[in-house]
Each structure stands twice: as structure tokens, then as C-alpha cells.
Amino acid sequence: MKKLFVFFLFLSISISAQKVDLSYYLPKNVTYDKSIPTPKEIVGHEVGEWHITHDKLVTYMKALAVSSDRISIETRGTTYEGRPVLLLTITSPENHKNLEKIRQVHMDATDDNSLDVSNNPIVVYQGFSIHGNEPSGSNAALAVAYYLAAADNIDDLLNNTVILFDPSFNPDGLQRFAYWANTNKSKNINPDPNDREYHEVWPRGRTNHYQFDMNRDWLPVQLPESKARIASFHKWLPNILTDHHEMGSNSSFFFQPGIPSRTNPLTPQMNQDLTKEIATYHAKALDKIGSLYYSEESFDDFYYGKGSTFPDINGGIGILFEQASSRGHAQETVNGVLTFPFTIRNQFTAALSTLEAAKGMRVKILKYQQDFYKESRNAAGNKAIVFGDEKDGAKSYHLAEVLKRHQVKIHEIKSDFTSNGKNFKKGFSYVVPMNQKNQLLVKAMFDVRTQFKDSLFYDVSAWTFNHAFGVDYAENISLAKVGKEITDLKMNTGGVSSKSDYGYLMSWNEYYTPKALNAFLQKGLRAKVSMKNFKNGGTSYEYGTIFIPVQNQKLNASDLYQFLNKVAAESHVKITGVSTGLNDGIDLGSNNFSAIKKPKVAMLVGSGIVSYDSGEIWHLFDQRFDMHLTRLDMSYFARVDLSAYTHIIIPSSNIDKASIARLRTWVKNGGVLVGYKNTAKWLASNKMISLEFDIPKIDTIQNISFESKSLNTGAQYIGGAIFEADLDRSHPINFGYKNDKIALFRNSTLFIKADKKSYNNPIKYTSNPLLSGYISKENAKVIKNTVPFKVQKSGRGKVIVFTDNTNFRAFWFGTNKLLMNTIFFGDKM
Ligand SMILES: [Zn+2]
């Protein structure tokens, strides 16, 4: 056994703020097993000396698992960039031998309130740096894992705890940030906040590969990292889950509870009480090392898509930690020079105080979880919810898939039925009985809320899944309508009904039709779109139906059939071979079938462009529809020949004036420009499109003190809410939608006045549009009857704007088609 001694932190910055060894982090008076390698022995540097890269982190965690019988390791999946999503299970060697039994006993207790939990270990899930550029978490994970593997005095802790240890929630983001911080490190660490080291380039390490904030994906579970993590979560139902973050450099250290008035009403009060009791352990530990901290004044537990809130609707307790960020290796702040090792030490300390709390409050917290599920069972009721879309199987399938990831039981419907004016068709609908274990989680997913205790939100105020997926939905369905349980969820198969020598029709309703159409066009095939409804061979076809003639194609009739079949199968769409061009309504040779041009789409990215918004669009094209999207960085945009592109998308942005002339010329020559959110303002002020904005009137402010000033201005912000609009389905922007209403997600306060000509308002907010979420009364007055979409001709091209986000966080399947319609039919609008 080797004894480590506390090392004094060098205060002189000119020498180095980083000269600390492992003992700086570790508790005093503990001996460590010498057979366990220290991080330095494996990765070649001290914790905090350099920013750990993900590959080195993996190497160290694997080395620990090999050398310690307290640790087992598994790879649960891979990120978009192919990095392993690791999980370490840390507990006593004895517990390791009976791990599956321990897990079973733990899970059984949540199903049977009579079982005695007092001898069960508590399950703690510790996760680090879901935002990759908040690195003190993952860097602390090196020291925490070492401590748990090597400390000689923690048998009692390990006997009573199963630790699910997730050293990097966001491997791709951590790697990107470590590269930045290390690349810019000087030998003489320069704490000047203006130094390049503290200013990452676009896209920053916060997000994953497609620039998603993964700490919003715990409920929608659309990203590979989340899929792996949520599977572990439901496998174990941890009692405590911690989420280690960083915040602004001039802060101190935050631990939950957050702002009490902003706790989601579905979360039991006891959850917050226990959080507060756990907090006393953090306070004590941080007092001991002299670190400043605070709680209850910021952050909240409202949106269940965050890591520290998600456990709260699953019988657990989620805890958020926020450490002031040194961002690089040391930075001057209002609290003096903040060194990277100091930030790591606070995270390390909070990780250990969490385990201390888990040990101290074990039985109480286990009992809380057991009671949570008992109460959930008692409140379940004997009804079901149903959702589906009789013309779009894929959207409904993807929503069912989310429920499956959350271990929610879903069933087929017994037979077709109508409820709430909507048809639910077998094979296109799913029913969820509410008398099941995770019914509270289901309630949280479909929650509709328009009244709130507080008017400020850390994140979105609504996420209602049936609106997000754009599916028909009904509640209070009789259990008599519930068919057999779906254990093997599958997407509907696609294909071509029969070979034709005349032509093929594909209705535009299915989610993946853009993927199929794009494949046809890229192959060089000719396709047309119907501008009117018609009937062929007794079947009704709506606006937007795609027609592929057989004659005069690059492929002969039989190759064409083969190719369409392959594409239809890959895209899960149905294509019908027809034998006649004579229709009820427009015939197939009519000019009302308009030729579709092969798109070549570019998107502006880089500094000045909102990276979340551009990442969502990139992901949509690349991952969902297998479509090329050329990303043009603002740094070389001026040098690119734009004439090759049919479409340019500008996500929400503040781009420079110099670009305007080029874009104007390009549009006049036939380009279709699609701008989102702030870009609408920019295009209007540069006279690329004429828009009239409606601005809410804020009355004279009375009775608001200086202290409450920020609360008042914040209340005018739309952090994210859901609004209803009327659709003119004959307009190409709405092709493929079967209902006359649509739910839109908006997080902006741009309100465009409707045009005087009704046909220029194909999407228009209703007179009472709020479906779910928070909006101030001033904004609520203004939004009614305004328009979230506008298109205007300019020369031979078009300028199109959306004030709402049609691609939000990869789970707003319901409005993805709006963007696709601008790509394939933009020239027809
Ligand atoms: Zn964060």
C-alpha cells in the first residue's frame, strides 16, 4: 500500500497553475492499493494537466476493469463517430458475483410494495460531461474511478451500493473539446480570458456529432448515446442519478434542488425533499475543502428530457451539478484565477458526497422508490391512449419505438375504430394501456399544460409527443379495444404493388417518401407531382402524389420496376403500378402533374449560424433521408460558385451583409432560399422578402421591483411551446398532410402578419393557437392569426421563411415534411 500526501497547489501562475498530482483530489488519510494503476501510469499525464481525450479515458477505464475486482466494464453502443459508449459497474467483489440477482431483487421491489428493501444495495448512476466542453466532469471521472478501485476503506460503501459509472456521456463532444483546449495550451499557461484557448471554434464541444444537445434527449431518445444510456437506466432503475456539468466561469458551484417553483407538477414533493437532504452532504464536503457553492437559485426540474429531471418521473432522484468552468487550463475570474484542477476537485468531491448520501440515506431512498411505484399503480386507471396515422405508418412507428425504449408496453388495436373524429387503422395505430408500470412516464410524455406556477423555464415548457410526431391521438380508450401486445416492433414493409408498363403512383403521406423521391431523382428518373386530387382505378390520391411514368426513362420497364421496388422497400413506402392514365379528375398526362427538378441543396454553417438548428437539418437529410446536404462554411462562402445549387438553407443566423448581394443574384437566377427564425428578420431587413412583423405591446410595468426585473423580461421569452395552425392543403408546402390542422413547435417571438390574400397564407395560426406550453399574455394576443411561413417570388427564384423550427431536436417528426416540401416543390409555390 502506498500512502499519498496532499500536495500544495502552486499559486504562481507564471510557473504553472497545473502542477498538482493525484493527491490534490483524493481524501486525506486513505491508503490505496498499489496494484491499481493511477491515471498517469496509463494516460501519461496527471489528472488536470491536460484535458483527457476520450480515447485515453477509455484506455484508463479498461485498465481499471482489468486490475480491479470491484469493476466490470461494458460497451453499450457507439457514437456517430464510432466511439464506445462505456459503462462501468462498481461494487464489492461479493456483489459482483451476485449482480444479476441483486438487480432482480432491486427491480422486484418496484413491483411489490410488501418486499423488504432494507438489505438491498442502493443503485447510483454517476454520469459526467454530457456537454463535452464542460470537461471537469469527465476529467474528475478518472480520479473518482481510481478512488473507487483503489481506496482501502470503502468496503461498507461498496457492499451497500451498486454504482453505474458513465465516465463520458458525450464521447464525441469531449474529444472535440479536448482537442481544442490541448491544441491551444501554452507552456506558460495564460489565464487571460481573451486567449484563443478559451474561445472554441464552431461547432463547440458541447454537442454531439450532429450538434445535438444530448441533455435534452433523455425523453425523446433519438440519439445513439441516449439509446444506450436509457437502456441501462431502465434495466436498473437507479435511485440516484447525477449529472456533472459546468457553467459560466464567474460562478461557483451549484447543486440541486433548483428553483422550487419550477418543479414539474408530476414530480412528487418527496423527491425534492430528498434532493434537499442529499444536498446537505454536498455542502458538508465542499465546506471541508473551502469551496463556494449555492443551490435553489437557478436551474430547474421541469423538462423530463434532462438528465437531472428524467429520474424524477421514474422513482429516482436526479441531481444536477454545475461547476464554474475554467474552459481551458486556467482562467481569470471574479473569484481569482480558476484552475482546471480546482474545477475537477469540486466535481470529484461532489461525486463522493453523492455516494456518502446514498450510503447514509439508503433505506429511505429505496423505500421512496418502492412507494413511488405503489402510488403509480394505484393511480393507473383502466383506460388506454391510442395514436396513429392511417396514411403514415412510419411516424407512428417511431413514436412507438420511443415508448419501447422506455419499457412501455404497447399493443395493436383489436380492429379499426374512430375516436375524437380520427380513424385508427390496424397496422398504423398503437394503443397503450395506462394500467402499467411506467404510466407516469407515459403521462409525462403526452402531458398538455397551459397553466404554470412560474413564467420562466430553463428549457422548453412543452413537448407533448403526439403533437411532436404529428399523429392522431385519443385518450380514455376502453381496454376492450386493446389487441395483442407488440413484442417485436417492426416498421411496415414497403414495395411496389405490381409491375406496370404505364406508370407508378406514390402518395406523399408516408414519412420516408422524400427519401424515396430523392433516390428516384438522383438516379436520373423523371417524376411529377399532382397539384390536384384525383382517382385512379377507384383509389383516391391527394395533392402531392408522385407519378413516375414508365416511358422515356433511363431505365427500361423491368429495370425501373426492380429499382422502384428496392427503393420502396428501403423507404418503407408503398408504390402502385397503374395500367391507365385516365383518371377521375386530372389525368396522368395533365399539366397539373408538374415535373420535379433534381435538387442539389446547400446549407450555410459556421460562425454566426445557430449550430443546433443547422445540426438538426444536417441530421434530417443525412440520417433520415439519405440525402446529400452540402454545408458551406461562412468562412469560404464568398468563394463558392453558387450556380450549382438549387436550394440554399439558412438556419437561424446573424450573417454578414456581404453575403446578401450574392444570394440576391442567385435567387433571381432561379434559386430557392429557405430561411429559418432570425434569418426571416435578416431577409426582410435586406428587402429579400417583404414581411410585416407584429410586435407585442408591453403595457406600463407596475409593481415590479428592481429585484424582480429579470423575471419580468424573461416572461416575454418563448422558450419552446406548441401552437396550432390551419393548413391550406392545396398549397405545395402542405402536400402530404392529411389533416387541416398542424401542431408547430416555436421558440421565437417573431410574428408575421397574415397576407390580405388568403391563398398566400397556407399555414396560419388559429385564433386561439396555444396547444401546450407557456406564452405571455402579451405574446398570446399577438400570435393569433399570424403566419409562421411565407413564400415570395423573386426573379426566377423563391424566398421562403419559417419562424418556427420544423426540425426540433430530431423528434419533431410531424413537421419535417414542411422542409422537404420546400426542397421538392419550392419552385411550385
Ligand atoms: Zn451543461
Q: Are strands 741-746 and 672-676 parallel, antiparallel or unpaired?
A: unpaired
541-575 tens-digit pLDDT: 999 999 999 999 999 999 999 999 999 999 999 99
430-465 tens-digit pLDDT: 999 999 999 999 999 999 999 888 888 888 899 999
How far does the centroid of ligand 1 lie from the alpha carbon of residue 362, in Å? 28
110-164 tens-digit pLDDT: 999 999 999 999 999 999 999 999 999 999 999 999 999 999 999 999 999 999 9
For residue 14, pLDDT over 80 is answered with no
Average pLDDT over residues 513-521: 98
For residue 5, pLDDT over 70 is answered with no
How far does the centroid of ligand 1 lie from the alpha carbon of residue 307, in Å? 10
Range of weakest confidence among 458-462, 534-538, 594-598, 770-774: 458-462
Cis, peptide link before residue 27, omega less than 30° from 0: no
How far does the centroid of ligand 1 lie from the alpha carbon of residue 47, in Å? 21
For residue 828, pLDDT over 80 is answered with yes
Residues 775 and 721 sit within 8 Å (Cβ to Cβ): yes
Average pLDDT over residues 374-393: 94
How far does the centroid of ligand 1 lie from the alpha carbon of residue 245, in Å? 4
What was the pLDDT predicted at 824? Answer: 98
Q: H/E element holding 518?
A: helix 513-522
What was the pLDDT predicted at 459? Answer: 86
Range of weakest confidence among 25-39, 437-451, 688-702: 688-702
Q: Are strands 495-496 and 584-585 parallel, antiparallel or unpaired?
A: unpaired
How far does the centroid of ligand 1 lie from the alpha carbon of residue 791, in Å? 37
How far does the centroid of ligand 1 lie from the alpha carbon of residue 418, in Å? 45
Mean pLDDT of the chain: 95
Q: Is 1 exposed, middle or buried, given 0-12, 13-18 or 19+ CB atoms closer than 10 A?
A: exposed
How far does the centroid of ligand 1 lie from the alpha carbon of residue 163, in Å? 22
Rounded-to-integer distance, Cα 555 and Cα 560, Å = 5
DSSP, residue by residue, 565-592: HHHHHHHT-EEEEES-S--EES-TTSTT
How far does the centroid of ligand 1 lie from the alpha carbon of residue 154, in Å? 30
pLDDT-above-70 percentage for the chain: 97
Rounded-to-integer distance, Cα 559 and Cα 561, Å = 5
Cite the beta strand spans of 315-441 per DSSP E.
Answer: 317-324, 330-333, 336-339, 383-388, 411-413, 417-419, 422-424, 429-433
- Residue 169 contacts by C-beta under 8 Å, 6 or more apart in sequence? 127, 128, 129, 130, 214, 215, 225, 229, 243, 307
Average pLDDT over residues 368-393: 95
Rounded-to-integer distance, Cα 271 and Cα 323, Å = 23
Cite the beta strand spans of 61-109 per DSSP E.
Answer: 71-78, 84-90
Q: H/E element holding 519?
A: helix 513-522
For residue 15, pLDDT over 60 is answered with no
Average pLDDT over residues 251-265: 94
What was the pLDDT predicted at 4? Answer: 43
What was the pLDDT predicted at 659? Answer: 87
What was the pLDDT predicted at 701? Answer: 67
For residue 742, pLDDT over 90 is answered with yes
How far does the centroid of ligand 1 lie from the alpha carbon of residue 287, in Å? 24
For residue 605, pLDDT over 90 is answered with yes
- Pick the closest to residue 557 from 525, 581, 597, 514 (CA basis): 525
How far does the centroid of ligand 1 lie from the alpha carbon of residue 457, in Å? 16
Residues 443 and 457 sit within 8 Å (Cβ to Cβ): no
How far does the centroid of ligand 1 lie from the alpha carbon of residue 485, in Å? 39
Whole-prediction pTM value? 0.95
Dihedral, CA atoms, 8, 11, 15, 18, nearest 10 degrees?
A: 60
